[in-house]
């Protein structure tokens, strides 16, 4: 099929080139703007005034020159239709697909054409989420999911503008206000109060900083007693009742976590008493059938441990406890990042920046050290200075 050459123009439907009336004189809109799109197809639109036709045509030609042209027929696809087509091509894990699907179904503008989406649609939706009310972090996550879809639509030349850009979102509390870090005594009570077969699980979360799903997927071969470290190579994610999916850790955060001799003793005793055997790939914390512990089983045992210990804290707070312990011991950002399995140091700083010593803390410590070194016996030194 021969493609048409790129051309554009505005023509008078009511008059011929010599100025005499045409057969269409007085019928329909007088001015017709026409152009040939990127695929060689002619697109035309009628206008009552020539200035309107020329302005519309100029805007189209500008997008063609800039490479941002959107075929009107492609732009008529609704948000829901585009998402259905695009999401079927994505290689998502179960939880990601479920979160993205929820975002596509719940948005009130799902049946609006992509080229008709306006900032006001997004603002009204965000306001509705806030007024439900949903937590600020949840609102941010849902908006980010929609932003991902709209970004894909722009890449696919379905729309030009980004209606979600700059839409104000609710303020998320600073990490130091929202983060809960249990004290050492509380952590100790949780480990000792947990069911015997679950105590090692609690200890791994508290003293190696593993995520819930990472701890559930541990195998004996992941524990290096000689090098004193625990390897994180997989995670166990509950898909549905009784179904557990084992896959690589989130964001590729495989890592080796240096651990204490005390934790290794707990793990050694757990293997001996609760999961004996010779298979290095058996589950350290077995669940139903051949599966490791699922989320419901973990939280059921965790609730019992909390009640027995008299501690009201979240399981994930044990991970914060481990990170805070590393920072208090002087570990730098990169060391904490590697131990926690963050994909970048910026994530570590975003989460735990308030725990790292500030410039004022370092200055005060240096001043204390200078004072101590200069005056070995502060009391005697002060008496000498004061002339006593």
- As a whole number of angstroms, the distance between CA 377 and CA 293 comes to 58
Report the alpha-carbon distance of residue 287 to residue 303 in Å, rounded: 17
347 within a domain of the structure (yes/no) = no
189 in any annotated domain: yes
pLDDT tens per residue across span 274-310? 999 999 999 999 998 889 998 889 999 999 999 999 9
Q: 188 and 277: one domain?
A: yes
Q: Would you state the pLDDT for residue 367?
A: 84
| Nearest partner of 200 among 284, 100, 103, judged by Cα | 284
pLDDT attached to residue 42: 78
Strands of 255-258's sheet in order across: 223-224, 229-232, 255-258
201 and 285 within one domain: yes
Cis amide bond preceding 133, omega within 30: yes
List, for residues 48-104, the tens digit of each pLDDT value: 898 888 887 777 776 666 665 555 555 578 899 999 999 988 888 777 888 888 777
Cα distance between residue 58 and residue 56, in whole Å: 5
Helix (H, G, I), strand (E, B) or coil at 378: helix
B/e letters for 203-226, b = 16+ CB within 10 Å, e = fewer, are bbbbbbbbbbbbbbbbbbebbeee
In a domain, 3, yes or no: no
Long-range contacts of 83-89 (CB under 8 A, 24+ apart): 83/110, 83/149, 86/149, 86/152, 86/153, 86/156
DSSP code string of 30-48: SEEEEEE-TTS-EEEEEES
Mean confidence (pLDDT) of the chain: 85
Torsion over CA of 104, 105, 106 and 108, rounded to 10 degrees? 80
350 within some domain? no
* Residue position matching structure tokens 């009107």: 72
Tell me, yes or no, whether 322 and 199 share the same domain: yes
Residue 335 lies in a domain: no
Residues 85, 185, single domain; the answer is: no
In a domain, 225, yes or no: yes
CA-to-CA separations, 23 to 14, 19, 27, 28, in angstroms, rounded = 7, 12, 9, 12
Of 172, 187, 212, which residue constitutes the final position of a domain?
Answer: 172
Task: Report the C-alpha gap between 233 and 216 in whole angstroms.
Answer: 11
Q: What are phi and psi of 322, to 5 degrees?
A: -65, -45
**C-alpha R_g of the chain:** 32
Residue 91 sits in the same domain as residue 211: no
User: Does the pTM of the predicted model rise above 0.75?
Assistant: no
Is residue 134 domain-shared with residue 251, that is, in the same domain? Answer: no
Residue 192 and residue 317 in one domain: yes
Say if residue 207 is in the same domain as residue 314.
Answer: yes
Structural domain including 250 reads 178-328
- Tell me if 356 sits within 8 A of 326, measured CB to CB: no
pLDDT band of 3, cuts 50, 70, 90: very low
> 143 and 37 in one domain?
no
Task: Find the mean pLDDT for residues 2-10.
Answer: 60
d(C-alpha 300, C-alpha 268), whole Å:
24
Residues 245 and 111 in one domain: no
Condensed to tens digits (0 to 9), the pLDDT of residues 189-207 reads 999 999 999 999 999 999 9
pLDDT tens per residue, range 176-189: 446 889 999 999 99
Range 204-215 average pLDDT: 95
Within a domain: 305: yes
End-of-domain residue from the set 117, 144, 172 = 172
Instruction: Give me the CATH number covering residue 118.
Output: 1.10.150.130
In a domain, 351, yes or no: no
- Of 283, 310, 328, at which residue does a domain stop? 328
- Provide the pLDDT for residue 4: 47
Same domain, yes or no: 27 and 125: no
Between CA 104 and CA 110 the distance in angstroms is 7
| Number of domains comprising the chain | 4
Please report the pLDDT score of residue 59 as a whole number.
72
Are both 317 and 249 inside the same structural domain? yes
CB under 8 Å to 10, separation ≥6 — which residues?
31, 32, 33, 34, 50, 53, 54, 57
């Amino acid at each position: 099929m021969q493609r048409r050459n790129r051309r554009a123009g505005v023509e008078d439907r009511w008059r011929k080139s010599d100025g005499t009336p045409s057969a269409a004189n007085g019928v329909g809109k007088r001015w017709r703007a026409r152009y040939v799109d990127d695929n060689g197809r002619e697109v035309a639109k009628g206008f009552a005034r020539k200035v309107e036709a020329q302005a519309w045509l100029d805007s189209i030609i500008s997008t063609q020159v800039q490479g941002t042209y959107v075929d009107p027929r492609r732009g008529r696809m609704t948000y829901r239709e585009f998402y259905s087509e695009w999401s079927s091509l994505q290689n998502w894990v179960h939880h990601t697909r479920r979160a993205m699907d929820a975002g596509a179904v719940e948005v009130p503008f799902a049946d609006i054409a992509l080229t008709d989406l306006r900032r006001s649609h997004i603002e009204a939706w965000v306001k509705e989420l806030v007024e439900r009310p949903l937590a600020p972090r949840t609102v941010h996550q849902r908006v980010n999911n929609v932003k991902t879809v709209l970004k894909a639509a722009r890449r696919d030349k379905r729309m030009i503008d980004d209606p979600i850009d700059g839409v104000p979102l609710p303020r998320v509390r600073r990490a130091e206000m929202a983060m809960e870090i249990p004290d050492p005594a509380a952590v100790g009570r949780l480990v000792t109060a947990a069911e015997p077969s679950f105590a090692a699980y609690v200890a791994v979360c508290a003293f190696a900083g593993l995520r819930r799903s990472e701890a559930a997927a541990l195998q004996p071969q992941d524990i290096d007693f000689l090098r004193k470290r625990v390897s994180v190579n997989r995670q166990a994610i509950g898909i549905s009742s009784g179904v557990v999916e084992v896959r690589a850790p989130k964001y590729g955060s495989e890592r080796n976590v240096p651990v204490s001799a005390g934790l290794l003793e707990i793990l050694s005793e757990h293997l001996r008493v609760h999961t004996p055997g010779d298979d290095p790939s058996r589950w350290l914390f077995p669940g139903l059938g051949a599966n490791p512990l699922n989320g419901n089983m973990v939280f059921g045992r965790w609730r019992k441990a909390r009640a027995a210990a008299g501690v009201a804290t979240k399981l994930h707070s044990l991970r914060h406890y481990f990170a805070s312990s590393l920072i208090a011991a002087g570990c730098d950002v990169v060391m904490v990042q590697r131990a926690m399995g963050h994909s970048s140091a910026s994530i570590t700083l975003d989460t735990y920046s308030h725990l790292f010593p500030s410039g004022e803390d370092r200055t005060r410590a240096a001043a204390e050290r200078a004072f101590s070194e200069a005056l070995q016996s502060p009391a005697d030194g002060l008496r000498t200075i004061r002339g006593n």
